[in-house]
Amino acid sequence: MKKTILFFGSALAITMLVASCATSDPNSPGFEFAPDMYRSPSYESNSSNGLFADSITNRKPAEGTIAIGYMPYPYPNNDSGYAWAGRNLKNPFAATPEIIAEGKKKYDIFCTHCHGATGMGDGKVGGKLPGPPPAYNAALKNLTEGAMYHSIHYGKGNMGSHASQLTAEERWKIIRYVQTLQNPGGMPAPAPADSTKKEEKKG
Ligand code: HEC
Protein backbone atom coordinates (compact mmCIF):
# COMPACT_ATOMS: atom_id res chain seq x y z
CA MET A 1 0.00 0.00 0.00
CA LYS A 2 2.80 2.31 1.00
CA LYS A 3 4.59 1.51 -2.24
CA THR A 4 1.48 2.33 -4.31
CA ILE A 5 1.07 5.70 -2.61
CA LEU A 6 4.73 6.45 -3.15
CA PHE A 7 4.47 5.45 -6.80
CA PHE A 8 1.41 7.59 -7.57
CA GLY A 9 2.73 10.41 -5.43
CA SER A 10 6.00 10.65 -7.32
CA ALA A 11 4.24 10.20 -10.67
CA LEU A 12 2.01 13.17 -9.81
CA ALA A 13 4.98 15.25 -8.65
CA ILE A 14 6.89 14.55 -11.88
CA THR A 15 3.84 15.35 -14.02
CA MET A 16 3.35 18.68 -12.24
CA LEU A 17 7.04 19.49 -12.55
CA VAL A 18 7.07 18.72 -16.29
CA ALA A 19 3.84 20.64 -16.86
CA SER A 20 5.12 23.73 -15.08
CA CYS A 21 8.46 23.69 -16.87
CA ALA A 22 7.10 22.74 -20.27
CA THR A 23 7.56 26.24 -21.63
CA SER A 24 9.54 29.37 -20.86
CA ASP A 25 6.85 31.60 -22.38
CA PRO A 26 5.46 33.69 -19.50
CA ASN A 27 2.17 34.05 -21.36
CA SER A 28 1.69 30.32 -21.65
CA PRO A 29 -1.04 28.82 -19.49
CA GLY A 30 1.25 25.79 -18.88
CA PHE A 31 0.35 22.29 -19.90
CA GLU A 32 -2.42 22.30 -22.47
CA PHE A 33 -4.55 19.23 -22.97
CA ALA A 34 -6.08 20.40 -26.24
CA PRO A 35 -4.00 23.27 -27.65
CA ASP A 36 -6.32 23.58 -30.67
CA MET A 37 -8.97 24.82 -28.33
CA TYR A 38 -6.77 27.67 -27.06
CA ARG A 39 -4.66 28.62 -30.01
CA SER A 40 -6.26 29.89 -33.17
CA PRO A 41 -4.29 29.41 -36.39
CA SER A 42 -5.01 33.03 -37.39
CA TYR A 43 -2.54 35.80 -36.55
CA GLU A 44 -3.23 38.04 -33.56
CA SER A 45 -3.83 41.67 -34.62
CA ASN A 46 -0.61 43.11 -33.23
CA SER A 47 1.65 40.09 -33.59
CA SER A 48 4.47 39.96 -36.09
CA ASN A 49 3.83 38.16 -39.32
CA GLY A 50 6.28 36.24 -41.47
CA LEU A 51 4.01 36.43 -44.52
CA PHE A 52 4.67 40.11 -45.14
CA ALA A 53 7.99 41.79 -45.85
CA ASP A 54 7.34 44.42 -43.16
CA SER A 55 6.18 41.68 -40.73
CA ILE A 56 3.09 43.71 -39.75
CA THR A 57 -0.13 41.74 -39.31
CA ASN A 58 -2.45 44.77 -39.29
CA ARG A 59 -2.79 45.58 -42.99
CA LYS A 60 -4.06 48.83 -44.46
CA PRO A 61 -7.26 48.54 -46.54
CA ALA A 62 -6.58 47.81 -50.22
CA GLU A 63 -6.20 50.95 -52.29
CA GLY A 64 -9.42 52.28 -53.74
CA THR A 65 -11.64 50.56 -51.16
CA ILE A 66 -13.96 52.42 -48.79
CA ALA A 67 -14.83 51.17 -45.32
CA ILE A 68 -18.51 50.50 -44.65
CA GLY A 69 -20.17 53.60 -43.26
CA TYR A 70 -17.26 55.87 -44.16
CA MET A 71 -17.94 58.72 -46.56
CA PRO A 72 -14.84 60.14 -48.24
CA TYR A 73 -14.62 63.93 -48.17
CA PRO A 74 -13.56 65.11 -51.63
CA TYR A 75 -12.96 68.80 -50.93
CA PRO A 76 -9.28 69.62 -50.33
CA ASN A 77 -8.14 71.69 -47.38
CA ASN A 78 -7.35 74.88 -49.31
CA ASP A 79 -9.10 78.04 -50.52
CA SER A 80 -10.61 76.47 -53.61
CA GLY A 81 -11.78 73.42 -51.63
CA TYR A 82 -13.40 75.80 -49.15
CA ALA A 83 -15.13 77.81 -51.90
CA TRP A 84 -16.23 74.65 -53.70
CA ALA A 85 -17.63 73.03 -50.54
CA GLY A 86 -19.34 76.32 -49.67
CA ARG A 87 -21.19 76.28 -52.97
CA ASN A 88 -21.92 72.56 -53.30
CA LEU A 89 -22.57 71.00 -49.92
CA LYS A 90 -26.17 70.97 -48.81
CA ASN A 91 -27.61 69.97 -45.48
CA PRO A 92 -29.48 66.65 -45.78
CA PHE A 93 -31.56 67.50 -42.68
CA ALA A 94 -34.51 69.84 -42.74
CA ALA A 95 -34.63 72.61 -40.15
CA THR A 96 -37.23 70.90 -37.98
CA PRO A 97 -37.42 71.67 -34.27
CA GLU A 98 -36.28 68.09 -33.53
CA ILE A 99 -33.16 68.33 -35.71
CA ILE A 100 -32.32 71.74 -34.31
CA ALA A 101 -32.68 70.41 -30.76
CA GLU A 102 -30.34 67.52 -31.55
CA GLY A 103 -27.85 69.95 -33.05
CA LYS A 104 -28.07 72.20 -30.01
CA LYS A 105 -27.26 69.28 -27.74
CA LYS A 106 -24.01 68.60 -29.61
CA TYR A 107 -23.26 72.31 -29.97
CA ASP A 108 -23.49 72.69 -26.20
CA ILE A 109 -20.92 69.92 -25.80
CA PHE A 110 -18.46 70.69 -28.60
CA CYS A 111 -18.77 74.37 -29.46
CA THR A 112 -20.18 76.50 -26.63
CA HIS A 113 -16.89 76.81 -24.73
CA CYS A 114 -15.45 78.75 -27.68
CA HIS A 115 -18.39 80.16 -29.60
CA GLY A 116 -20.57 80.94 -26.58
CA ALA A 117 -24.12 79.78 -25.88
CA THR A 118 -25.60 82.31 -28.30
CA GLY A 119 -22.73 82.16 -30.82
CA MET A 120 -21.27 85.55 -30.00
CA GLY A 121 -17.73 84.14 -29.76
CA ASP A 122 -17.68 84.78 -26.02
CA GLY A 123 -17.35 81.23 -24.66
CA LYS A 124 -15.07 80.70 -21.65
CA VAL A 125 -12.27 79.46 -23.91
CA GLY A 126 -13.14 81.43 -27.04
CA GLY A 127 -13.04 84.75 -25.22
CA LYS A 128 -9.46 84.03 -24.16
CA LEU A 129 -8.18 83.11 -27.62
CA PRO A 130 -5.90 85.66 -29.32
CA GLY A 131 -8.44 85.72 -32.14
CA PRO A 132 -11.85 84.94 -30.60
CA PRO A 133 -14.44 83.29 -32.85
CA PRO A 134 -16.49 85.81 -34.85
CA ALA A 135 -20.18 86.15 -33.94
CA TYR A 136 -22.53 84.00 -36.00
CA ASN A 137 -25.09 86.78 -36.33
CA ALA A 138 -22.55 89.40 -37.45
CA ALA A 139 -19.32 88.51 -39.30
CA LEU A 140 -20.59 84.97 -40.02
CA LYS A 141 -24.19 85.91 -40.76
CA ASN A 142 -24.04 84.94 -44.43
CA LEU A 143 -21.69 81.99 -44.15
CA THR A 144 -23.13 79.10 -46.16
CA GLU A 145 -23.83 75.72 -44.61
CA GLY A 146 -21.28 74.10 -46.94
CA ALA A 147 -18.52 76.45 -45.74
CA MET A 148 -19.48 75.68 -42.14
CA TYR A 149 -19.27 71.98 -42.82
CA HIS A 150 -15.86 72.40 -44.42
CA SER A 151 -14.54 74.42 -41.47
CA ILE A 152 -15.87 71.89 -38.95
CA HIS A 153 -14.23 69.11 -40.97
CA TYR A 154 -10.76 70.66 -41.31
CA GLY A 155 -10.82 73.35 -38.62
CA LYS A 156 -10.05 76.98 -39.31
CA GLY A 157 -7.51 79.32 -37.70
CA ASN A 158 -7.63 78.69 -33.95
CA MET A 159 -10.41 76.18 -34.31
CA GLY A 160 -9.26 72.58 -34.60
CA SER A 161 -10.78 69.93 -36.84
CA HIS A 162 -13.82 68.21 -35.38
CA ALA A 163 -13.72 65.42 -37.96
CA SER A 164 -12.90 62.73 -35.42
CA GLN A 165 -15.41 63.90 -32.80
CA LEU A 166 -18.50 64.38 -34.91
CA THR A 167 -20.11 62.21 -37.59
CA ALA A 168 -21.36 63.86 -40.79
CA GLU A 169 -24.94 63.65 -39.47
CA GLU A 170 -24.01 65.29 -36.18
CA ARG A 171 -22.22 68.14 -37.98
CA TRP A 172 -25.19 68.82 -40.22
CA LYS A 173 -27.53 68.87 -37.24
CA ILE A 174 -25.23 71.27 -35.41
CA ILE A 175 -25.21 73.47 -38.51
CA ARG A 176 -29.01 73.59 -38.39
CA TYR A 177 -28.68 74.92 -34.87
CA VAL A 178 -25.89 77.36 -35.79
CA GLN A 179 -28.21 78.76 -38.47
CA THR A 180 -30.70 79.68 -35.75
CA LEU A 181 -27.88 81.65 -34.11
CA GLN A 182 -27.00 83.31 -37.43
CA ASN A 183 -30.59 84.46 -37.78
CA PRO A 184 -32.10 84.71 -34.33
CA GLY A 185 -35.87 84.62 -34.78
CA GLY A 186 -35.56 83.70 -38.45
CA MET A 187 -35.57 79.95 -37.94
CA PRO A 188 -37.82 77.65 -35.91
CA ALA A 189 -37.01 77.82 -32.21
CA PRO A 190 -35.15 74.86 -30.67
CA ALA A 191 -37.54 72.08 -29.74
CA PRO A 192 -38.89 71.78 -26.20
CA ALA A 193 -37.26 69.36 -23.76
CA ASP A 194 -39.36 66.27 -24.60
CA SER A 195 -37.82 65.76 -28.06
CA THR A 196 -34.42 65.87 -26.37
CA LYS A 197 -35.57 62.96 -24.20
CA LYS A 198 -36.48 61.01 -27.34
CA GLU A 199 -32.91 61.38 -28.56
CA GLU A 200 -31.58 60.09 -25.25
CA LYS A 201 -33.64 56.93 -25.54
CA LYS A 202 -32.32 56.31 -29.04
CA GLY A 203 -28.70 56.65 -28.05
C1 HEC B 1 -11.09 76.04 -29.61
C2 HEC B 1 -12.19 76.91 -29.82
C3 HEC B 1 -13.24 76.50 -30.83
C4 HEC B 1 -14.06 75.41 -30.80
C5 HEC B 1 -14.10 74.28 -29.81
C6 HEC B 1 -14.93 75.55 -31.94
N7 HEC B 1 -14.60 76.65 -32.65
FE8 HEC B 1 -15.48 77.28 -34.35
N9 HEC B 1 -14.16 78.79 -34.50
C10 HEC B 1 -13.21 79.11 -33.56
C11 HEC B 1 -12.43 80.24 -34.03
C12 HEC B 1 -11.28 80.91 -33.30
C13 HEC B 1 -12.94 80.58 -35.30
C14 HEC B 1 -12.44 81.65 -36.25
C15 HEC B 1 -11.50 80.98 -37.23
C16 HEC B 1 -10.90 81.92 -38.24
O17 HEC B 1 -11.67 82.46 -39.05
O18 HEC B 1 -9.69 82.08 -38.19
C19 HEC B 1 -14.04 79.65 -35.55
C20 HEC B 1 -14.81 79.66 -36.70
C21 HEC B 1 -15.93 78.90 -36.88
C22 HEC B 1 -16.83 79.00 -38.00
C23 HEC B 1 -16.66 79.92 -39.18
C24 HEC B 1 -15.79 79.20 -40.17
C25 HEC B 1 -15.61 79.93 -41.47
O26 HEC B 1 -15.64 79.24 -42.49
O27 HEC B 1 -15.40 81.15 -41.46
C28 HEC B 1 -17.82 78.09 -37.82
C29 HEC B 1 -19.01 77.82 -38.72
C30 HEC B 1 -17.55 77.40 -36.58
N31 HEC B 1 -16.39 77.91 -36.05
C32 HEC B 1 -18.32 76.41 -36.05
C33 HEC B 1 -17.96 75.67 -34.96
C34 HEC B 1 -18.72 74.56 -34.48
C35 HEC B 1 -20.03 74.09 -35.07
C36 HEC B 1 -18.05 74.06 -33.41
C37 HEC B 1 -18.41 72.87 -32.59
C38 HEC B 1 -18.53 71.64 -33.30
C39 HEC B 1 -16.86 74.86 -33.23
N40 HEC B 1 -16.85 75.82 -34.19
C41 HEC B 1 -15.94 74.64 -32.25
C42 HEC B 1 -13.00 78.46 -32.37
C43 HEC B 1 -13.59 77.28 -32.00
pLDDT band at 22 (very low <50, low <70, confident <90, very high): low
Q: Which residues of 162-197 are buried (b: 16+ CB within 10 A; e: fewer)?
A: beeebeeebbbbbbbbbbbbbeeeebeebbeeebee
Q: How far is the CA of 69 from the centre of ligand 1 (A)?
A: 26
Q: Is 83 in the pocket of ligand 1 (CB under 6 A)?
A: no
Q: Is the CB of 181 under 6 A from ligand 1?
A: no
How many residues are given for the chain?
A: 203
Query: Rounded to the nearest 5°, which phi and psi values hold at 105?
Result: -60, -45
Tens-digit pLDDT profile for residues 115-173:
999 999 999 998 888 889 999 999 999 999 999 999 999 999 999 999 999 999 999 99
